[in-house]
């Protein structure tokens, strides 16, 4: 692997006695496309939150481009070149798609406060339209976000997150809520511009067909730990991964469900 873009070592985070992350050490290289899998409650979102500064780890280190970032704010981490999307798209639903793109670019450029009217200079509009075009959203430019189909919402959220040309992009379930037939097209559309820019991408995903098709590497989480990390084929064939992640029998309980059972 070339120089690591991201390297975490011994990341730990607990919430009310539950170890959401229990010593997570992973590295991702430039341009790598990594799928993150794991049952509900395995710690995937916490990992994304910790790397992007939204949740502070109890212990461990996070190096981005060689620099320790675990004490930085989400905004500072974004500025260094780490972008993320959320499980639920974060859009201004009452504004148009184009206005959302203008705001995202202004925020990426470092504006602390954003007023729409002065943003609409020809150069800014051109950049916003180019951003939409990269993610095949140009035909929706004048739509109000609230009227967008789910797949387009997801794309816009990711386009907005990556307007600042990040070196690393973390996507939390980019295809959740999107129909089976649209998932592949959505992944094709969102990954093309990211691959072209050379960004490393980590995406959390439940659909193993998507993982197999797109990931260069797969990291499987189980109860806050890395259960397996390697080539998609070998990770998906791993006995422990099949037992705890992909082949979960219908009557298996997640850690959260067992905890709830114990309380109830």
44 is an interface residue for ligand ADP by CB under 6 A = yes
32-51 residues in contact with Mg ion (CB under 5 A) are 44-45
Q: Are strands 168-172 and 200-204 parallel, antiparallel or unpaired?
A: parallel
Structure token pair of residue 171? 């996507």
Tell me the HSE value of 223 on the side-chain side, using a 13 A CA sphere. Answer: 11
8-state DSSP, 146: G
The SS3 assignment for 228 reads strand
15-34 residues in contact with ligand ADP (CB under 6 A) are 15-16, 18, 20
Nearer to Mg ion by Cβ, of 36 and 155: the residue is 36
Q: How many residues bind Mg ion (CB under 5 A)?
A: 2
126-155 residues in contact with ligand ADP (CB under 6 A) are none
CB of 131 within 8 A of CB of 164? Answer: no
Nearer to ligand ADP by Cβ, of 18 and 124: the residue is 18
Q: From the CB of 174, what's the least distance to ligand ADP, in Å?
A: 14
Contact partner, 183, from ligand ADP, Mg ion, none, Cβ < 5-8 Å per class? none
Distance CA 174, CA 203 (A): 7
38 is an interface residue for ligand ADP by CB under 6 A = yes
**What is the helix (H) or strand (E) element at residue 45, kind and residue range?**
helix 44-51
257 is an interface residue for ligand ADP by CB under 6 A = no
Contacts of 152 (CB under 8 A, 6+ apart): 137, 140
Site of interaction with ligand ADP (CB under 6 A)? 15-16, 18, 20, 38, 40-46, 255-256
Q: Which residues bind Mg ion (CB under 5 A)?
A: 44-45
């Amino acid at each position: 692997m070339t120089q690591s873009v991201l390297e975490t070592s011994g990341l730990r985070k607990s919430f009310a006695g539950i170890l959401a992350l229990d010593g997570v050490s992973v590295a991702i290289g430039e341009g790598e496309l990594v799928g993150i899998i794991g049952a509900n409650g395995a710690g995937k979102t916490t990992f994304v939150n910790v790397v992007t500064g939204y949740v502070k780890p109890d212990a461990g280190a996070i190096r981005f481009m060689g620099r320790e970032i675990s004490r930085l704010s989400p905004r500072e981490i974004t500025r260094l070149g780490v972008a993320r999307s959320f499980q639920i798209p974060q859009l201004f639903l009452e504004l148009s798609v184009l206005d959302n793109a203008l705001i995202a670019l202004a925020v990426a450029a470092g504006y602390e406060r954003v007023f729409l009217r002065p943003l609409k200079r020809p150069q800014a509009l051109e950049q916003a339209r180019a951003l939409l075009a990269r993610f095949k959203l140009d035909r929706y430019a004048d739509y109000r976000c609230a009227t967008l189909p789910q797949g387009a919402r997801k794309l816009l959220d990711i386009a907005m997150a990556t307007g600042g040309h990040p070196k690393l992009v973390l996507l939390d379930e980019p295809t959740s809520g999107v129909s089976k037939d649209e998932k592949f097209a959505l992944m094709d559309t969102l990954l093309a511009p990211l691959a072209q820019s050379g960004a490393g991408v980590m995406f959390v995903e439940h659909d193993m067909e998507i993982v197999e098709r797109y990931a260069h590497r797969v990291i499987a989480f189980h109860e806050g730990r890395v259960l397996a990390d390697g080539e998609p084929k070998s990770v998906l064939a791993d006995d422990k991964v099949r037992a705890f992640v992909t082949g979960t029998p219908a009557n298996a309980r997640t850690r959260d469900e067992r905890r709830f059972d114990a309380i109830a």
